[in-house]
A and B are shown apart, each in its own frame.
Chain A
């Protein structure tokens, strides 16, 4: 190699490192989801790195700071150390796709503060935590956070799988686990740009595998037995919540899709949701049907509660409007119940 060639190679390596640093810096604000760490208290299977700054601009555009427990809450909530309403759910409830102050839990805190009730809402929503996973973690979450009045659990379905329920009941349910990486990869995982590339690669792989479109009628009761099986999981959760003197709230957040005529639809149908709601009422569970709320907002005001300015309409997580709708719906159901009492 000539001297000029050698100098160019050194320059190129230095330039490569500089470029990487620039991209990493850019990604701190563009795509910087907080990493998962082991959750010692088992209220959730894992949590976020406490105190870490996060930003996401790939689905919506949001940023915030994880609280000292590893969840997405504004710090002022935890200062009191009291929880009146504990929210459990998946990434929808976690709300890493909207600004922290636009998240349903933050909005509820504001509403309860304004109406004088002063209830403290604490959100332990965590990505990939389904209703089954949250049912399995429920007992532990109740012990750790000791909610005084309500426990609100997100459900992505209104018809439950009996096998999952049986696994929860006999203790054989497989909890979500964090993958253990070698130290180098664990370090790389902390670099936002590397995370972005990994996400891109995952998306590329998913594209190759093909994704299934949402089909209406997937999430319905095909027999009376199906409703009965769903009821068993409701009882399981309700028993644990009422034992601590709280009321269980279940809020159904469906995936949103649109047909060729532009009509909004979900995997569940109105009859199944109505049966589910009826079952909840009979058991003393408060039910919030976000499908109904989303449908109404779309039909009456052309507003879509899911999807963002950089995704297709309705695709993915709840947006700021969706969180506002969710907060309003939960607030209304609580206010109505308390008025009746």
Chain B
């Protein structure tokens, strides 16, 4: 059951109806009503997840139980016990992740490197969303251990935090500190929330079904046989993939945020116009914000961050980015992708240190534009490794591109539409930011936004209905799963 399916829309309508009855019709006492709504949402989330494969629920429940039972603060008087408990709480979810996601990859790579006959591997089905809910469980365990948050006493609330269906299978990765407090409040669907949430959901749906999926047709074709195409077409495909993955993943995040908003909950923004970044560091503050925040908080800082000297800082950055790459998928292409970003981050850090330029160094407008273009070019080229099914395929794409090879010229019209839409949205965001600008000296900080309308107005309703009708008419119906489902 994916967000962009009729089954999900029916499911979601029923969940909303259930919540509506619970909060506005049934004569229940305040705390009881809240508790029942949590149980109801927990059940709905398990139904949502079990729709893929019932057996996967066992793993989800297992990770939830381990995190719930082992979480505890580091107690001075029982330090060893606390550490053991913490170790178990971190090791078991990681072991599950490693077993299901990386076992075959590491065994295969080991056999290849040492020339050992290839083992058959376990060939386990990768449980959808395992990387996301494992990270949520880990963040909770670590935060409780470090005393940042208190241990959750209710299993239902904790299980709902781990399995909350809008963000269960492809994020955003929600921190316990952000979500659990919401469960202590009377969060319920209201007309205002419905109005906003549905618009955000439809906005995400348009990004995914109309732009990302139509782009996938062209991108898949070029990546399948890059040697067939003219280098300009390959370049267009590389740019198209950069837009496709953004539209796909941010579209999913928007749908998740919209769903949660309708039901009364708030999820943090996961993307903030990443292709407007002036450098790679900024890119990672705007791209998949929940993951980069997680990696920074729980991996980079845990390794020592930038407090242990220059060399160690770069090493920590590289480790973080390599593991971040590996998080996306069990393949060397992902490791390479993470490594390239790691190198770029190190270079940028070294440059800042050497020149003493501030984080937003490029103050002049032309320079800022140049920085954005260079950053985007770098990010686009890195996506080649991310998209390719093997390093051989990635190299074939790059060879065709930089070899200026001849071939079929295919000016895919959806790519042009997507580029135009992205450019228009960027210009609009800049204009919006410029309007907000109060201080004359500070450079304009561009911010993402949702085009939310006031649906009590006639023309706003017309625009909303045209958007829905447009999605139905222009959506690519050939079926294309969300890219981040595989992670």
Contact = CB atoms under 8 A, between A and B. Distances in A.
Nearest to B467: A19
B477 A312 contact: no
A260 B458 contact: no
9 contacts: A15-B462, A61-B413, A196-B473, A203-B477, A261-B227, A262-B225, A302-B230, A302-B406, A302-B409
A44 to B, nearest CB: 30
Interface string A1-40: 0000000100110111011101100010011000000000
A60 to B, nearest CB: 10
A341 interface: no
A302 B412 contact: no
A8 B221 CA distance: 47
A14 B458 CA distance: 8
B414 interface: yes
A310 B414 contact: yes
A310 B410 CA distance: 9
A16 to B, nearest CB: 5
A197 B473 contact: yes
**What is the interface of chain A mostly: helix, strand, loop, or mixed?**
helix
B408 A304 contact: yes
B403 interface: no
Contacts of B217: 311-312
B121 interface: no
A115 to B, nearest CB: 31
A145 B459 CA distance: 53
Given A23-B469, A23-B473, A261 B225 contact: yes
A188 B411 CA distance: 35
Interface in B210-233: 217-218, 221, 224-225, 227-228, 230
Interface residues on chain A, size class? 35 or more
The range of chain B's interface size is 20 to 34
A313 to B, nearest CB: 5
B456 interface: yes
B473 A19 contact: no
Contact of A19 (B224, B225, B411, B469): B469
Given A15-B459, A19-B469, A203-B477, 12 more contacts: A15-B461, A15-B464, A20-B465, A23-B469, A27-B473, A207-B478, A261-B227, A302-B409, A309-B410, A310-B412, A311-B217, A312-B221
Nearest to B456: A8
Given A19-B469, A311-B217, A12 B461 contact: yes
A260 B224 contact: yes
B477 A19 contact: no
A336 B401 CA distance: 43
Which of A200, A260, A310 is most buried by chain B, counting CB atoms within 10 A of its CB?
A310
B408 A260 contact: no
Interface in B397-421: 406-414
Contacts of B466: 19, 22-23
